[in-house]
Structure 1
Amino acid sequence: MTDISRLPGAFDHRWNWQLAAACRDVDTSLFFHPSGERGKAHDEREEEAKRVCGGCPVRRECLRHALEVHESYGVWGGLSETERAALVGRSARPSHAA
């Protein structure tokens, strides 16, 4: 029989912040742009997503999570992928080196 007594407990504390997120009941498509979305449609969708984030009680935790896991897509913690990349000084697009 496997001894699990030394295994760490549940990691609820690492994601429980999501339960209080303002976006919890919002369609996720607001936070992630569809393929080919550009210009005014992109800007308006992204601004609406950021408005949801603006009133979120766990905005910092969300942004921290996105930065820790190097989230490449979407609006997280009120910042777009381009804004997060600029914050940490890296390219917004993942590189696909051969």
Structure 2
Amino acid sequence: MTEWEELDLLWGDAEEMSWQERALCAQTDPEAFFPEKGGSTREAKRVCLGCEVQAECLEYALLHDERFGIWGGLSERERRKLKKRAV
């Protein structure tokens, strides 16, 4: 791997972290974003609605196939449906 490729990887990681650091969920109870099966997602989704990085969060979850929790305002089931519609 060249030096430039390594820098690109590091820069990508830095960009990834910057949206995560700005996320409202980072300042909120994480348990709200990972409710027990059948538990309410209302509180987490409310936080997501006001978050400036909601789109980045959802994109991350879709690209990394996150299977648990609320990401970008959507539950795992909602993300699965969104992916199916996109295909």
Q: Compute the TM-score of the two structures, normalised by the length of structure 2.
A: 0.82
Aligned length: 81
Distance in 2 between the 1:67 and 1:54 partners? 18
* Identity fraction in percent: 41
Instruction: For structure 1, list consecutive stretches of 5 or more residues without a partner in the other structure.
Output: 91-98
Task: State the alpha-carbon separation in 1 of the partners of residues 48 and 80 from structure 2.
Answer: 18
* Structure 2 match to 1:68: 63
Whichever residue aligns with residue 24 of structure 1, its letter is: A
Larger Cα Rg: Structure 1 or Structure 2? 1
Q: Distance in 2 between matches of 1:49 and 1:17?
A: 17
Q: Give distance in 1, aligned partners of 2:4 and 2:71.
A: 34
- In the other structure, the counterpart of 2:6 is 8
Q: Which amino acid aligns with 1:15?
A: M
Deviation at 1:7, TM superposition (A): 4.7
Counting only pairs closer than 5 Å after superposition, residues 1-98 of structure 1 correspond to structure 2 as 5-9=3-7, 10=10, 11-34=13-36, 37-38=37-38, 42-43=39-40, 46-89=41-84
Report Cα offsets for 1:57-77 as digits up to 9, x if no partner.
000000000000010111000
Runs of 4+ in 1 over 6 A off after TM superposition: none
Provide the C-alpha distance between the structure 1 equivalents of 2:4 and 2:55, rounded to a whole number of angstroms. Answer: 32
Greater helix fraction, Structure 1 or Structure 2? 2
- Alpha-carbon distance in structure 1 between the residues aligned to 2:48 and 2:4: 39
